[in-house]
Chain A
Amino acid sequence: QGLLEQSGPEVKEPGASLKVSCEASGYSFTNYGIAWVRQAPGQGHEWIGWISPLTGRKTFAQSLQGRVIMSTDTSTNTAELQLRDVDSGDTAIYYCARGHMVSPFDLWGQGTLITVSS
């Protein structure tokens, strides 16, 4: 049970930062972590990172570390992903998903298409 509702699609210019939000409902937000996953056009899924709303602990994919900022707000049950200095390789559908640090994900947001284009 539960729902993850993500923000809408955006177009970003190269060098800009992208931001995707994910609002959780229908379950206790602090009982689960939130992972971020992306899927570029025609590609497989790529894990970006994970954050615990309870402790603030974070893990990151090494390939994106340094550009990724993840946060949560327990007053609004919302998680947010920011990715800095984007380029065309960051064009993808970005998903938030519910799970623990080392676990599968049993609940996913609907996805947010981010297009990086000048």
Chain B
Amino acid sequence: DIRLTQSPSTLSASLGDRVTITCRASQSIATALAWYQQKPGKAPRLLITSVSNLESGVPSRFSGSGSGREFTITISNLQPDDFATYFCQQYNTYLLSFGGGTKLEIK
């Protein structure tokens, strides 16, 4: 099975900051990587597919990059609505897996 390791597990930042979260795969997953946002008590929201394709309605301050085994999501100009948990998912094989999540907190 493919393991996804996210870092950091917690990130403190201020409004207007630019932050980056990393997701590392235990083996190459080409570009089969998605990012989600989740707020407490809510269902996950799909943000990015295929490493860098923003879903409809996702603000352009979100961006994704990477390939192979290392991937990042960057959020620029942090807004109040961005403070949440972010996690990655690989879909390179039918044995899907998720990263452990990164909680983005207000500093």
Contacts and interface: CB of A to CB of B under 8 A. Distances in A.
B94 A102 contact: yes
Interface stretch (A45-53, A68-76, A83-91): A45-53
A69 B94 CA distance: 17
Give the contact-size bracket for chain B.
20 to 34
**Residue of A97, A105, A109, A110 with most chain B CB atoms under a 10 A cut-off:** A105
Interface string A100-118: 0111111011110000000
A105 B97 CA distance: 12
Contacts of A66: none
A102 B91 contact: yes
26 contacts: A37-B98, A44-B99, A44-B100, A44-B101, A45-B44, A45-B87, A45-B89, A45-B101, A46-B98, A47-B97, A50-B96, A59-B94, A59-B95, A95-B43, A102-B32, A102-B91, A102-B92, A102-B94, A104-B46, A104-B49, A105-B44, A105-B46, A106-B46, A108-B44, A109-B43, A110-B42
